[in-house]
C-alpha cells in the first residue's frame, strides 16, 4: 500500500467517523428535544 493510498484511507476513515459522530449527536439532540417538549416547557 503506497503512502498515497494510506492517506486516502485515513481520510476516508476520518470522514466516516465524523459522519457517524454527527449522526449520534443528532439522535441525542432529538432525544433531548423530545424530553423538553414532553416536559411541558
Partner 1 sequence: MAAGGVRTVPRSAGMIATEVAAEPVATPLDYWRLLKPNVMQLVVFTGAVGLYLAPGTIHPLLGFVAVLAIALGAGACAAINNAYDADIDRQMRRTRGRPTATGRIAPAEALGTGIALALIAVMLMGLALNWLAAGLLAFTILFYLVVYTLFLKRRTPQNIVIGGVAGALPPVVGWAAVTGDVGLPPLLLFLIVFLWTPPHFWSLALYRNEDYRRAGVPMLPVVAGRRRTLRYIFAYALAVSLAGLLPVAVGAAGALYGLVALVAGAMFTGVAWRLLRTGRDEVARRGFRVSVLYLFLIFLGLVVDHAVFDAFGS
Q: Which stretches of the chain bind partner 1, using CB under 8 A?
A: 4-5, 8, 11-12, 14-15, 18, 26, 29-30, 32-33, 36-37, 41
Distance in angstroms (rounded) separating the CA atoms of residues 24 and 39? 22
Residue number with CB closer to partner 1 (24 or 29): 29
Nearer to partner 1, 24 or 30 (CB): 30
Give the cell for residue 14.
476520518
How far is Cα 23 from Cα 19, in angstroms, rounded to an integer? 6
The greatest distance separating any two alpha carbons of the chain, rounded to the nearest whole angstrom, comes to 57
CB of 11: closest distance to partner 1 in angstroms? Answer: 4
Amino acid at each position: 500500500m503506497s503512502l498515497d493510498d494510506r492517506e486516502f484511507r485515513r481520510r476516508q476513515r476520518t470522514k466516516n467517523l465524523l459522519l457517524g459522530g454527527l449522526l449520534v449527536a443528532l439522535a441525542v439532540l432529538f432525544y433531548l428535544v423530545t424530553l423538553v417538549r414532553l416536559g411541558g416547557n
